Chain A
């Protein structure tokens, strides 16, 4: 409870600072909008030449693509500051301040920034999911709307876990931004049906960096191409396992943190 109240305090302060630069907010929003748009236009141009991609229609691809944005956007919205741990907090000794306060350091790290740019991502995702649902005439009932929310939350947790795990490596290596970026790039694979990849890539996406479970598998459940348990069920399981490992790594990292500088 105390942490929820604290988060509110932090968020309020952040929004106050943000209000002083509304233009920044809109530019950021538009920036992410454009980034997403590029991928969609690409698909559109391709579908001029093909009736379907490996048995997936344009609408289905848009659904997967849009669905992939949602957990990513939510993760981005709340935990963006973890990147700073990978980038410079260890090198510059900026992590000190979190260890000097009587609150969970991870909470402080996350609460440090709220990233409204991500709203652009979430918006694109929502628009794509809704329009493609309408076009495909998919009706999502009460049960499935709950599954939908659960899946997106679990997906966001997987993103956070992967980010936190690779950012925590920085406690050992001083910075891990390259590694983190690399892993994050693999998330892009999951925007398309995994069936287009060969076996090795599919294996990596499902079991090593499980991004396929963040987007493609749950999305194919909603399209009606797969069963609940083997998609969203596994996704939730992976979310629990990855976040546990990531948080343990983070805590281990704290004990070997070498505060640099004076």
Chain B
């Protein structure tokens, strides 16, 4: 479905000088700086796959997606989506793809949501019959009818995201690009969006490429992930492998009434672990423990704390995807 070969994109920019003097200096000089946002990336994605495209901020995720959608023209290399080179035949490509860029809506801001759909119907030349079927399906998975008569401006972030997703799917695209589809949403809405994406993928065999910072998105949706860093591909493969080898660090945060006794405990000696597998930070009455879940369980740490202090609050956090990416980049996979 998607073939990407040696794709490269270089941006040129003018050097900026800091401070007030710098601004004045900038008035008279121009220094061009080139930066490769995407550097020689290749991969193939088959029909019906859901692929997570992962990397830290500025790694080149959005740039790649924008080349695949036809917004940007690559500096060198090429990509083909369903037999079409997107940046050469934009309009044909546009007819077969859908895209949602999380922070930027494509809905008509000042009009009721239903109007957006009637405009899109015209734009994508959707027949009356298809339109009806499609709207029924979208309503079923995204519950659009709840707010379809509201002005877009007044929608909540979660509603807007659902609407944007619906708008991208109205014309039954072959490929769906999602750039941070769950950013800023609460847990329940996130879950709904993920379910909807799964449903669409199952029902219509829509190929989905998504970028995200949310490990949950990846775990629930993707059967495959591609990781890039500084414009280069560093990993391409299944998710399980990554999680087992890299996603084992967890953080447990515990708030206690009085941490005095805890301060005297040497956690590493107690559990016989090195600091790379267990690290304790105490700040006032909050204790933060970074631990390897393959070596020690959260309950062991928690019970040790509970023996020595009264616990007020406790929470466990997953490792951030950025940390995994960073680690992979440092150690190297494959």
A residues contacting B by CB (< 8 A) are 2, 5-6, 9-10, 13, 16-17, 20, 93-94, 96-97, 99-105, 255-259, 261-262
Binary interface encoding of chain B residues 96-128 relative to chain A, with 1 for a CB under 8 A from any of its CBs, else 0:
010101011010101100010011001111000
Q: Which of B71, B87, B115 contacts A100 (CB 8 A)?
A: B71
Q: Judge whether B95 is part of the interface by a CB distance below 8 angstroms.
A: yes
In whole Å, how far is A226's beta carbon from the nearest beta carbon of chain B?
44
Complex alpha-carbon distance, A20 and B112, angstroms: 12
A-B contacts, 23 of them at CB < 8 A, read A2-B125, A6-B122, A6-B123, A17-B110, A93-B104, A96-B104, A97-B104, A97-B106, A99-B71, A99-B94, A100-B70, A100-B94, A100-B97, A100-B99, A101-B94, A101-B123, A102-B94, A102-B123, A102-B124, A255-B87, A256-B73, A257-B72, A261-B104
Q: Do A258 and B119 touch (CB < 8 A)?
A: no
Q: Do A99 and B70 touch (CB < 8 A)?
A: yes
Binary interface encoding of chain B residues 70-99 relative to chain A, with 1 for a CB under 8 A from any of its CBs, else 0:
111100000000000001001110110101
Q: Do A13 and B108 touch (CB < 8 A)?
A: yes
B residues contacting A by CB (< 8 A) are 11, 57, 62, 66, 69-73, 87, 90-92, 94-95, 97, 99, 101, 103-104, 106, 108, 110-111, 115, 118-119, 122-125, 179-180
In whole Å, how far is A153's beta carbon from the nearest beta carbon of chain B?
26
Q: Do B71 and A257 touch (CB < 8 A)?
A: yes
Give the residue name and chain of the A residue nearest to B95 (CB).
A102
- In the complex, chain B residues whose CB is within 8 Å of the CB of A101: 94, 123-124
Task: Work out how many contacts link A and B, with CB atoms closer than 8 A.
Answer: 69
Q: A100-B71, A100-B99, A102-B124 are in contact. Are A10 and B111 (CB under 8 A)?
A: no
Q: Do A16 and B179 touch (CB < 8 A)?
A: no
Q: Which 7 interchain pairs have the tightest Cβ spacing?
A: A102-B94, A102-B95, A17-B110, A102-B91, A99-B71, A9-B122, A255-B73
- In the complex, chain A residues whose CB is within 8 Å of the CB of B87: 255
In whole Å, how far is B184's beta carbon from the nearest beta carbon of chain A?
13
Q: A13-B111, A103-B123, A262-B103 are in contact. List 6 more A-B contacts (CB 8 A).
A: A17-B111, A100-B70, A102-B92, A257-B73, A258-B72, A259-B66
Complex alpha-carbon distance, A25 and B91, angstroms: 35
- In the complex, chain A residues whose CB is within 8 Å of the CB of B119: 9-10, 13
In whole Å, how far is B53's beta carbon from the nearest beta carbon of chain A?
13
Give the residue name and chain of the A residue nearest to B179 (CB).
A262
Q: Do A99 and B108 touch (CB < 8 A)?
A: no
Complex alpha-carbon distance, A47 and B118, angstroms: 56
Q: Which of B11, B106, B108 contacts A258 (CB 8 A)?
A: B11
